[in-house]
Amino acid sequence: MEKAKEILRLSLQMGLSQREVASATKCSLGMVNMVLSRVKDSGVKDPLGIPAKELGSIIYPPAREKDRAEPDFLYIDQELKKKGVTLGILWEEYKIAHPDGCMYTQFCAKYREYRKQNSVYMRKVYKLGERMLVDWAGLTMKYKEKGIQRNAYIFVAVLPASSYLYAHPFCDMKMENWIQGHVRAFEYFGGVPHLIVPDNTKTAVVKANRYEAELNKTYKEMADHYGCVVVPARPYAATDKAPVETAVQIIERRIIARLRHLQFLSFEALLEAFHTELEALNNQPFQKLPGSRRSAFLANEKHELKKLPASRYEYAQFKEARA
């Protein structure tokens, strides 16, 4: 600003020509012309009497950003869940539609910022129809049978790509109910995912291993019947099944906690009340996204699941015996 003020003083007060001002201040002729023309266009009567900051905003006005079409990040996030779709492909489609749009690096940076601002999104992007995560809820429910109070244990399954939930109460956590929970979940979703991700519970894994766990034979037969693969989470790696951990919390807070004051005089009454709350939960609108779990599932993920087999899996037990 000192140079600019000197240019203005020599030109306006001393009456020197632009060439003389340029020679005196050791600035280019173009620089002198730019300062004088911008001050003249601003209409300021006494440019030497205004503060340096205001004079700077006149001589060097902030650059105007081009009106660029912003990417549709909600659409981008939904498309990334489809198999084979990458940010590079989506950017190329965006540039075809908007040639003056942002470049790839800025495109990715804006998308990452969008993900951070929307806490509903998880860090990991799950592909549609790829996997189902399963677990038992930590909390139980109470019901009475012949005057005796008993516990009901909640099986939870979730499709992480759409956050679609399924849960069902059982009388115990034995193998038969573990298998029945999977079968009911497949029928509720109307299809079968490619992968099932359980933890290392004894009903799923005979011997845990970080690289290749030994599955329970009944569990493996059930997976083979439905044409899917069981990939247990690594031991002590809760992040491998983070969505089902969140789903368990949702079931505990939105269903089990809401029904805690009711007394169920039969297991059937508990089932009816539980599934009524489950339907309401899946139909409840998202807080930061359009639609609900059910609408997101029906619109995006249902058609990505494999078809159910013609017959339902029949529970079987395997036992080794000696002659």
Q: What is the mean pLDDT of each run of 10 residues along the chain (323 residues)?
A: 79 82 83 83 77 77 66 85 80 86 88 74 71 91 89 93 92 91 94 90 74 80 91 76 88 89 90 94 85 89 90 82 85
Give the CATH class of 131-304. Answer: alpha beta
pLDDT of residue 122: 47
pLDDT of residue 179: 92
Closest C-alpha among 305, 283, 280 to residue 294? 283
User: Could you give the CA distance from residue 242 to residue 110 in angstroms, rounded to a whole number?
Assistant: 25
- Using a cut of 0.85, tell me whether the model's pTM lies above it: no
pLDDT of residue 64: 56
CB contact set of 176 (below 8 Å; sequence gap of 6+): 315
Q: How many helices (H) and strands (E) are present in the chain, helices listed first?
A: 12, 7
User: What are the start-end ranges of the E strands in 171-244?
Assistant: 195-197, 205-207, 214-215, 229-230
Do the domains 131-304 and 2-59 match in fold? no
Domain boundaries, the chain: 2-59, 73-117, 131-304
**What are the start-end ranges of the H helices in 157-216?**
175-189
Closest C-alpha among 306, 78, 299 to residue 194? 306
What architecture (CATH level 2) is domain 2-59?
Answer: Orthogonal Bundle (1.10)
Residue 289 tokens, joined: 């996204």
